[in-house]
Structure 1
Amino acid sequence: MKSADNQHPGRARWVAVGLGLAAVLGGGIAVWSGAGERPVREQAPAGATPRAGVEPASASGTASAPLRIVRLTASPHDVPVGGRVVLGCEVEGGSGEASARRYTWVAARGRLEQENGPATAWVAPKTPGLHQVGVLVEEGGSQVKQTVMLHVHVPTPEDLLALMKDSDWKQAREQTQAQREAAEAKLAALSEVVAKRETREDRLRAYYALADLAALQLDEGRYEEALRSYEELLGSHLETDPKRKPFLAGKASALFALGREDEALRVYAQAGDDNLAMSHYYAGLLLEARGQLPEALQAYGKAAEANRWFADPLLRQAELMLRQGRPAPEVVELLVTASPRFGRELLLERLATDPQFAALNQALGASGRAGELEERRPIETRLPEPPKPPEPGRSAVIIREE
């Protein structure tokens, strides 16, 4: 398997260069001023009190090498919802003793498999978009930190936060822990309701709780558990019952995530239009890889319709249309349509750095329509709130169908 860097050259600086981000690293300001350039640290003036991250001069007057992060790696940089990213931090300078260094990983969203050590893995959250993961390295009185932006299929319309300040590290770690504990508590509460099936009322509540439990298991990346839950739900309905469709859609998503491709495509076809946007997208990728191009185009179109902020299906659809010989103006029109979902600068950076979209980038440049790309549009926030379901374990009014 190719590394993420080989598949997506330049992706590591995708956001840092394209959006002009700057991060405070230890005692100096590190600014990415161009492709391929490394952060440059400000040096403390002579006689000044050493700042965090800057090693003091030795008694002989020779300054020791400053502690610095040489490379922060992530493989891959682009993952689906619930996907896994392997992270590594290479450090040099300081005393040179690896055992003397302390590593602290933080993430505002998603889940870190461990928070210490030079390597870890990050499980992407259920929200597509750009997500930030950072590492703090300490040795003695010195510290350096760096962040990386990871792409979970498509960026959300929420504004990207500035790189973490010193006070944000603790807050981000606490937020991650709180989210994890809340999810675990909800899973436990739903499981308790599902397990109680003594009376008919209990069994009805268990049915609805199991549907919520399956969806939450899917969101939390517990795909084997979600698959078992959806199979139990499907077992409670006849094959001809249309109420099976949402459960088939959930089962298809779990199968996609588990890599059971043939089963996933079969269940996906049974679920039809009830499939989740991500399932349509996964199906499109598999169908395209198998040479079923018309079916892949249809799946990408359904994914884009199911989630109006899901731009990747449109990019895949446009690239596939080009390969099939469709007119370039028609394909470029799709890019213009997709631009409010990505944002102009982010879309241009994506096309310029992702080899799979090189032909699209060339077609856009030749069309002269790059100036028509739009900035990202905000999500409408004044929509009515959906009714809230009863809390697990509490009595609910059960409406029986005649």
Structure 2
Amino acid sequence: MGGRVALGCEVEGGSGEASARRYTWVAARGRLEQENEPAAVWVAPKTPGLHQVGVLVQEGNSQVKQTVMLHVHVPTPEDLAALMKEGDWKQAQERTLAEREAAEAKLAALGEVVAKRETREDRLRAYYALEDLAALQLDEGRYEEALRSYEELLGSHLETDPKRKPFLAGKASALFVLGREDEALGVYAQAGDENLPMSHYYAGLLLEGRGQLPEALEAYSRAAEANRWFADPLLRQAQMMLRQGRSAQEVVELLIQASPRFGRELLLERLATDPQFAAVNQALTASGRAAELEERRPIETRLPEPPKPPEPGRTAVITPEP
């Protein structure tokens, strides 16, 4: 669903201006923004409640680390209904309820399999069920539970076992969202190429904030390559290239080559509306090459065409199977 949906996220325990900050969740972009203020990057949990969140706030050319307590409320039916037609709202409400019930049922079923470990076969089934459970917990925003599940999975492998890497990637993702920065970066480094796209992005933000610019640039590049729907890593990569003295021509070429993944409209909108990317927008405008940006290309899903039958009047040669 497009548009902005105010979730009523307020900083708890602050005073003065800090306590009055309100946040708006921009669902289509996967970001948390302060209204009329610099952006704070965050993944919103899917469950309401009080959450401690580590954020990086852009202030001019620098980023400031903050830890805030956010009290998250789900939007009321009236909030969402106002954004949709009555029929669409009813259908979306039914679908959301069905999806949540299905997820809860699957979590419960997997939990039962994980808990039963009486025989060798039970323990084997529990291992694979725990793997599915951890991934589902992460997807459903149950980050503390996912972290415990991934730690249990990691405990069943030797530290030299390459099969640990997907579990390290899941653990890193949970740690990033929970704001445990040093731990997250350490696990992220161990997971390597198995890291999830958003982990690359969060690592880039943290590394950039710590002045580790080459490592941050590499993390942004990996995030941009891995995630076709989120343009911020690409734009931050372009921004950092300019800051490091790379030519505007090189940066513009990067945007043009990457545009089929993200789309002309998305890139132009982000550049025009987000002041933190003003230098990148200026470089693209000055180049006169904005028209070369392409719309996003659909992911190829077609299967290879079957071989054509022989033309009439010709002999088909059939070779025996080996």
Superposition TM-score, scaled by structure 1 size: 0.58
Determine if the alignment matches structure 1 residue 75 to structure 2 residue 75.
no
Greater RCO, 1 or 2 (C-alpha within 8 Å, sep 6+): 1
Structure-2 change in CA distance of 1:183 and 1:343 (3 Å):
same
Unaligned ranges ≥5, structure 1: 1-13, 17-72, 88-109, 123-132, 138-143, 148-163, 385-402
Report the CA distance between 1:300 and its aligned residue. 1.2
Cα distance per residue 1:329-362 (max 9 Å; x no partner): 1001111123223322222111011011010110
Give the structure 2 partner of residue 357 of structure 1: 277
CA contact (8 A) 2:228 2:262 kept: no
Q: Which residue is equivalent to 2:218?
A: 298
- Identical-pair percentage: 77
Structure 2: distance between partners of 1:145 and 1:74: 20
Q: Which structure 2 residue ranges, 5 or more long, are not aligned? A: 5-21, 36-44, 50-70, 305-322
Correspondence for 1:275: 195
Q: Matched residues in 2 for 1:360 and 1:84: separation? A: 21
Q: For 1:259, what is the secondary structure of its paired residue?
A: coil
| Corresponding position of 1:97 | none
CA distances 1:301-339 after superposition (whole Å, capped 9, x unpaired): 222233344432211110100111100010011111232
Structure 1 residue ranges, 4+ long, deviating more than 6 angstroms after superposition: 83-87
1:206 to 123, 126, 144: 126
User: 1:350 and 1:286, CA in 2 relative to 1: closer, same or farther beyond 3 A?
Assistant: same
One-letter code aligned to 2:148: R
Contact residue 29 and residue 230 of structure 2 kept, 8 A: no
User: Closer, same or farther in 2 for the Cα pair 1:275/1:111, shift >3 Å?
Assistant: closer
Question: What aligned pairs does 1:92-131 form with structure 2 within 5 A after superposition?
Answer: 113=48, 121-122=73-74
Q: Cα–Cα, structure 1 residues 329 and 275, in superposed 2: closer, same or farther, change >3 Å?
A: same
SS in 1 for 2:73: strand
- What amino acid sits opposite 2:109 in the alignment? A
> In the alignment, residue 121 of structure 1 is paired with which amino acid?
H
Indicate conservation of the 8 Å contact 1:85/1:121, yes or no.
no
CA contact (8 A) 2:46 2:140 kept: no
**Structure 2-normalised TM-score?**
0.72
Task: Name the Cα RMSD after superposition.
Answer: 3.0
Cα distance in structure 2, aligned partners of 1:247 and 1:225: 14
Q: CA deviation at 1:202?
A: 0.5
Whether 1:289 and 2:241 are equivalent positions in the alignment is no
Give the Cα separation in 2 of the matches to 1:316 and 1:322.
Answer: 10
Is contact 1:86-1:120 (8 Å) kept? no
